[in-house]
Amino acid sequence: MSNSIKDEVISLIKKLPEDITLEEIMYHLYVKQQIMEGLQDIEQGKVYSLKEIKEISKQWILNLQKEQEKI
């Protein structure tokens, strides 16, 4: 059985140093949330192959260059 979100947060906080600031705790929670969302995306097949990323990047750069030429 998987841990609840509350259990995971408590476990994470217990691993942090005693002198941590609230801002640092919030950062660690944000990172944990982003990782969990990423893993969920992977499970749902919401991923790109390296080939797709290269093509998307290439198109993005070409579009950016075209916009620069207009200026």
Mind listing the pLDDT tens digit for each residue in 22-38?
A: 999 999 999 999 999 99
Helices (H), 1-71: 5-15, 22-43, 50-70
Q: Sketch the domain layout of the chain as residue ranges.
A: 5-70
Question: Does position 2 have pLDDT exceeding 80, yes or no?
Answer: no
Residue labelled with tokens 């941590």: 20
Burial 10-32 (b: 16+ CB within 10 A, else e): eeeeeeeeeeeeeeeeeeeeeee
CA–CA distance from 21 to each of 24, 30, 64 (Å)? 5, 14, 40
Q: Residue 71 has what pLDDT?
A: 84
The pTM is what? 0.69
Task: Give pLDDT tens digits for 33-62.
Answer: 999 999 999 999 999 999 999 999 999 999
